[in-house]
């Protein structure tokens, strides 16, 4: 048997050594912490619909949910997840990819390893890629080698020929220092952006080299991205000489020249950088969703109802951030819901559970439930209005401002979902009921509204548009959500449980009995909110 001729090992080792010299070192296992504004930047600069406003985002605890989704995920995947939560509608291709990833744990591990370096980057680059256009480098950037050359020639002349050439040395040195002072901060900041882009291109190239169903068709683009990565980070020959490499920036303006060169590369290949960003971010976001669902005991793929559907159905729905929360079921058909229940039984938690699952269904196509049929609609809420000493706004004024915002949103042609908890707490009982009935009835005329309140008289007032539901416990202590209105309140009983004393409890009871004779639920109030 004839053995094949062995190729010389030295050229191969040399090529590998030079390739390592131009590439990035393997980053450590570290997830850089980004500010909320950085994570939201992609949605801000790329544009697109915003289906959740800032107050709803906070009230639905979506920052906490985003963090749970984004474990082991870089800024690229985090930005894409945030963008989809805020305004995306589940893409069927993405849903199928997440399903396939759940069925292929080995491929998930390979993809995650290929994108490992992305987690160490410390800059977000969606702003320069998708935001305001980058200014082209100045024309004189091509002359940046002249000051170092002048310094070298004048130094040689001063040492060999003319002492007066020291003035030329001084002049060239001053020019070098001025350029360094002028561009030092820009270069350092931009260098971090370039390192982030390097990791992005490197991850894209590695993904294209994987033979997985999730990266089919990436090969040609990955090769192009690999060439672009090497063009963005050319071999620095002065790194081979330790003494000179440390002074390259000062004497040869290495950092300034690399600054302008990389900006030119970005401007010329901007479309390639953008496609690479979106492709890698989308795949990483789907990978994060697959890991998230993999760790869940229960979830389902939501069935989408038409956008104008006035209803929804959840079976055994749970809050994803509360593992110990008890599951509940709710079915609405044609009307919204008026939810009542005793103090502390979990009405607000129920509203947040419904809200976050509605957002998940719209953005990602799944819910934390046994089954779900929901409309994929924008979601707006009012749950945590507070007074503001600095802004000079009382609680009732804050509630009025938010109610006005919700009515303005409801005035659009698109249907939406509204989740409201204890509206108008900041005024007296009669005015609270009156204002709440007017606002809720107007919202529910065209949109699906889910509201909870201790003002039980609202239930018959709004029965034409909101079906009454009550959160209660059965004989065994299990939590139930059943049709109907709360019958036995517990506000007075809690006075005794909290140690207010028998005297306070007795006085409160007598006042309650007296008020009940004057403010009992009316037998018929169906015409109160009818058109005048």
pTM of the model: 0.86
User: What whole-number distance in Å separates Cα of residue 140 and Cα of residue 142?
Assistant: 5
What DSSP assignment string belongs to 371-412?
Answer: EEEEE---EEEE-----BTTTTB-HHHHHHHHHHHHHHHHTS
**pLDDT attached to residue 450:** 96
Judge contact between 432 and 359, C-beta under 8 A. no
CATH 3.40.50.300 residue spans of the chain: 300-489
Task: Report which DSSP code applies to 141.
Answer: G
User: What whole-number distance in Å separates Cα of residue 262 and Cα of residue 120?
Assistant: 21
Quick check: helix, strand or coil at residue 325?
coil
CATH 1.10.1420 residue spans of the chain: 29-294
Which of 220, 256, 230, 39 has the alpha carbon at shortest distance from 145?
A: 256
Task: Report which DSSP code applies to 499.
Answer: T
| Other Cβ atoms within 10 Å of 384 Cβ, number | 13
Question: What's the token pair of residue 377?
Answer: 């609609």
Judge contact between 201 and 226, C-beta under 8 A. yes
Q: Which CATH fold would you assign to the domain 29-294?
A: MutS, DNA mismatch repair protein; Chain A, domain 3 (1.10.1420)
Which of 217, 278, 225, 220 has the alpha carbon at shortest distance from 94?
A: 278
User: What whole-number distance in Å separates Cα of residue 99 and Cα of residue 377?
Assistant: 23
**pLDDT attached to residue 380:** 95
pLDDT tens, residue order, the chain (532 aa): 444 444 444 444 444 444 444 455 555 556 788 999 999 999 999 887 888 999 999 999 999 999 999 989 999 999 999 999 998 899 999 999 999 999 999 999 999 999 999 998 999 999 999 998 888 889 898 898 888 898 888 888 888 877 788 888 899 889 988 998 899 899 889 999 999 999 999 999 999 999 899 998 888 888 888 888 888 876 565 566 666 666 777 778 888 888 999 999 999 999 999 999 999 999 999 999 999 999 998 999 999 988 777 889 999 999 999 877 888 999 998 899 999 988 888 899 999 999 999 999 999 999 999 999 999 999 999 997 775 566 667 888 988 899 999 999 998 768 899 999 988 888 888 898 899 999 999 999 999 999 999 888 899 999 999 999 999 887 777 788 889 998 877 777 777 777 787 888 888 788 777 877 765 555 567 677 777 6
**pLDDT attached to residue 390:** 61
Q: What is the CATH number of domain 300-489?
A: 3.40.50.300
């Amino acid at each position: 048997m004839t053995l094949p001729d062995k190729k010389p090992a030295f050229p191969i080792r040399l090529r590998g050594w030079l390739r390592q010299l131009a590439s990035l070192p393997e980053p450590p296992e570290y997830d850089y912490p980004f500010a909320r504004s950085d994570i939201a930047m992609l949605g801000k600069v790329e544009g697109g619909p915003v289906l959740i406003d800032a107050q709803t985002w906070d009230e639905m605890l979506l920052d906490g949910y985003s963090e749970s989704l984004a474990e082991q995920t870089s800024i690229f995947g985090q930005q894409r997840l945030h963008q989809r939560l805020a305004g995306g509608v589940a893409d069927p291709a993405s849903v199928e990819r997440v399903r396939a990833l759940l069925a292929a744990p080995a491929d998930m591990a390979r993809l995650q390893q290929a994108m490992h370096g992305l987690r160490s980057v410390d800059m977000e680059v969606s702003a320069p890629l998708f935001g305001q256009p980058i200014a082209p480098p100045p024309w004189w950037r091509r002359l940046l080698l002249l000051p170092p050359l002048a310094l070298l020639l004048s130094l040689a002349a001063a040492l060999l020929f003319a002492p007066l050439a020291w003035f030329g040395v001084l002049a060239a040195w001053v020019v070098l220092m001025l350029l360094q002072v002028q561009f030092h901060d820009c270069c350092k900041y931009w260098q971090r952006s370039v390192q982030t882009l390097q990791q992005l291109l490197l991850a894209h190239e590695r993904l294209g080299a994987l033979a997985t169903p999730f990266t089919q068709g990436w090969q040609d683009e990955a090769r192009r991205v690999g060439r672009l990565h090497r063009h963005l980070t050319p071999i620095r020959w002065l790194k081979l000489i330790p003494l000179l490499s440390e002074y390259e920036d000062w004497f040869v303006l290495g950092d300034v020249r690399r600054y302008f060169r990389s900006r030119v590369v970005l401007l010329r290949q901007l479309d390639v950088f953008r496609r690479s960003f979106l492709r890698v971010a989308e795949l990483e976001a789907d990978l994060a969703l697959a890991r998230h669902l993999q760790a869940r005991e229960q979830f389902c793929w939501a069935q989408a109802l038409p956008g104008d559907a006035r209803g929804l159905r959840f079976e055994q729905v749970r809050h994803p951030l509360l593992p110990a929360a008890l599951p509940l079921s709710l079915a609405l058909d044609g009307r919204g819901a008026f939810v009542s229940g005793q103090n502390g039984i979990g009405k607000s938690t129920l509203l947040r559970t419904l809200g976050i699952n509605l957002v998940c269904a719209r953005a990602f196509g799944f819910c934390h439930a046994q089954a779900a049929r929901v409309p994929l609609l924008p979601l707006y809420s009012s749950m945590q209005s507070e007074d503001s000493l600095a802004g000079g706004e009382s609680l009732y004024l804050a509630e009025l401002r938010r109610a006005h915002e919700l009515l303005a949103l409801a005035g659009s042609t698109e249907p939406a979902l509204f989740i409201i908890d204890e509206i108008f707490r900041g005024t007296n009982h009669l005015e609270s009921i009156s204002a709440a009935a007017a606002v809720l009835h107007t919202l529910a005329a065209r949109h699906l509204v889910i509201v909870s309140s201790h003002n039980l008289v609202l239930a018959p007032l709004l029965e034409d548009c909101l079906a009454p539901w009550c959160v209660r416990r059965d004989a065994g202590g299990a939590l139930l959500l059943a049709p109907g209105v709360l019958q036995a309140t517990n506000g007075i009983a809690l006075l005794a449980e909290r140690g207010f004393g028998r005297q306070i409890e007795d006085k409160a009871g007598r006042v309650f009995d007296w008020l009940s004779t004057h403010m009992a639920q009316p037998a018929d109030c169906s015409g109160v909110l009818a058109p005048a």
